[in-house]
Chains A and B, each alone.
Chain A
Amino acid sequence: MKIAERIFILFMGVFAAVIIKECSKLPIGSEYTIGPGFLPRFIAYAMLLISIMLLVKSFNKNKTDGKGKPFIVKAGFMRLISFFILLLLAVVSVDFVGMFIPLGIFMILIFKFVERYSWLSSVKVSVVSVIVFYFIFKVWLGVPIPGFSF
C-alpha cells in the first residue's frame, strides 16, 4: 500500500516540478496584476511542498492503515493490466480500422479471458453492445466516429 502511495506522490511531485520548469518562460508580473507565470509557479511550489510532506508522512506514520496489506494481489493485478493493455491496443488501432471493431474485440477478450464467461455469451453481449453503440452514436446522433461509414 505504502509503496504505491509513494509512487503516486512522486508522480505528482514530478508533474509539479515540470510545471515549475515550464514556468520560467512565463513572466511573473504585468502592468497592474499578476502575470501568467505567477499563480502556476506559486501553486506548483505548494504542490511540491505538500508532496514532500505526504511522502515524509508515509514513512513515519503509525502502522494503522494499510501496513502489511498489499496494494494489490497478483490475480487482481493481472486482471487490471490485461484489461488496460487491451483497452490501449483497441484505442491505438482506431486509426487503422475505426472504432467499433477494436472495441468489440476488446469486450470479447475481456469477457472471455478476464471475466471468464463462455465464448457464446461473450460474443453475444459484445456484438449486441457494439451494434447498440453504433446505432446510438453513429446512425442516430450522427457523430462522425471512424469505422463502418456507409
Chain B
Amino acid sequence: MKKTIMVLLIVSLFILAVGCSKENQAPEQPKTTFPERPLEFVACYAPGGGHDVMLRTMAKILADEGIVDTAINVVNKPGGSGAVGMGYVNGHAGDGHYLMATTSSFITTPLNSDIGINYKDFTPIARLGIDPELVLVNSKSGYQTLDDILKSDKPINVGGTGQGTIEHLVTVRLSKLSGKKLNFIPYQGDGEVIAALMGNQIDMTITNPNTAYDYIKSGDFRALAISTTERIDLMADVPTFRELGYDITLSLFRGVAAPKDIPEEAKAYYVDIIKKMVETETWKKDYLEKNMITPGYLEGEEYAKYLDEMNQIYEETLRELGIIK
C-alpha cells in the first residue's frame, strides 16, 4: 500500500512539473513596441557551419556597433539539411522574434523531399551576399581557357559536390549552352573535389572562390571562368561566363528570413538593422572578406523575387534530371 502511494505521488509530481512549465510558455499579448524580448537567430546547421558563422558574426556586429540593444541568442537547430530548422521557425509563424539563416538548402530541401513547407512559408528579409562559382582546372593540364575544354575531343569529367547542387546546375547549363557533353561526378564536400582534381581523377571542377583561392595562388590550379555578372576584385584576371559568351550567372546565396505573417513593424525593423549592419566596416572585414563572400545585398521584395527565380531554375533543372517529378 505504501508503495502504491509513493508511486502515485511521484507520478503526480511528474504531471505537476509538466503542467507548471506549460503555464510559463503561455503566449504573450502583442504590444506595440518591437522587439519586446531577446531576438533568436536560428542556424539550421551545427556550430561551425556556414549558417552558424554568419549568424554569430551578425549578432556580434549588431551588438558591438550599437545597432541593436536587445539581446540576441544564436541557436542551432541542425538536421535534415535545414528541414529541422525550417520546421522550428515555421512553428513560430506570426512571431517576429525569430530570424533564420537561408542558403540554397532553403530552396532545394523542400524541392527534394516532402517536408510540407517551402521558401514561400517565410518572410524574406534580405540577401547578404553571394558565393560565385568558378571553373577550375589542374595547372598541369593543357587547358588555358574555357574553350580549350569545351572544344576538346576527349570526354570531360567534371567534379562537384553532389547532384542537384548549384555546381551541378552550372555544369548542366554550360553543357547545354556549349553543346559539349560534360560528365558530372558528384563528390562529398569541397575537400574531396579538390583532392580529386589534384590527383587528376577529374578534368575540371566547379567550386567557390573561398575553396579555390589558395590553390590558385600556389599555382596548383587555374581558374578559367566565374559566374558573377562582373569580374570580382579578388580574382580580377578571371573572366566571367558572360564575357566568354555563356550566359550563366548562378551563385550560392546567403540571406536571412523570418517566419511568415510577422507584423509589418517587425519586418521594417529587421530591414532597417540589417541595412545598417551591411554598411559597417566590420561586416566587410570580419564576414565578407574573411569568408571570401561577394557582396550582393538585396532587400525584402527584391530578395523575394530572387528566391522565386532561383526556385524556378532549381525546379526546372531537377525535373530535367529526373530527381523530382
The chain A residues found within 8 Å of chain B, CB to CB, are 27, 32, 89, 93, 96-97, 101-102, 105, 108-109, 113, 144
Contacts and interface: CB of A to CB of B under 8 A. Distances in A.
Contacts of B21: 96-97
Contacts of A109: 10
A93 B3 contact: no
Nearest to A102: B14
Contacts of A102: 14
24 contacts: A27-B322, A32-B183, A89-B14, A93-B14, A93-B17, A93-B18, A96-B17, A96-B18, A96-B21, A96-B22, A97-B17, A97-B18, A97-B21, A101-B17, A102-B14, A105-B10, A105-B13, A105-B14, A108-B10, A109-B10, A113-B3, A113-B7, A144-B75, A144-B76
Interface in B116-149: none
Contacts of B183: 32
A71 to B, nearest CB: 28
Interface string B8-44: 0010011001100110000000000000000000000
Contacts of B22: 96
A145 B3 CA distance: 32
A93 B76 CA distance: 21
The interface residues of chain A, by DSSP majority, are classed as: helix
A27 B321 CA distance: 11
Contacts of B3: 113
Given A32-B183, A108-B10, 18 more contacts: A27-B322, A89-B14, A93-B14, A93-B17, A93-B18, A96-B17, A96-B18, A96-B21, A97-B18, A97-B21, A105-B10, A105-B13, A105-B14, A109-B10, A113-B3, A113-B7, A144-B75, A144-B76
Contacts of B75: 144
B41 to A, nearest CB: 14
Contacts of A97: 17-18, 21
Nearest to B20: A97
B250 to A, nearest CB: 22
A27 to B, nearest CB: 7
Contacts of A101: 17
Contacts of B17: 93, 96-97, 101
Interface centre among B3, B7, B17, B183 (most CB of A within 10 A): B17
Interface string B162-191: 000000000000000000000100000000
A38 to B, nearest CB: 14
A144 B52 CA distance: 15
A109 B10 CA distance: 9
Interface centre among A27, A32, A96, A102 (most CB of B within 10 A): A96
Nearest to B22: A96
A8 B10 CA distance: 35
A93 B14 CA distance: 8
Nearest to B18: A96
Nearest to B19: A96
A144 B43 CA distance: 14
A85 to B, nearest CB: 12
A102 B17 CA distance: 10
A105 B7 CA distance: 11
Nearest to B321: A30
Contacts of A108: 10
Nearest to B17: A97
Contacts of B10: 105, 108-109
B213 to A, nearest CB: 32
Contacts of A105: 10, 13-14
B192 to A, nearest CB: 17
Interface string B311-325: 000000000001000
Nearest to A89: B14
A102 to B, nearest CB: 8
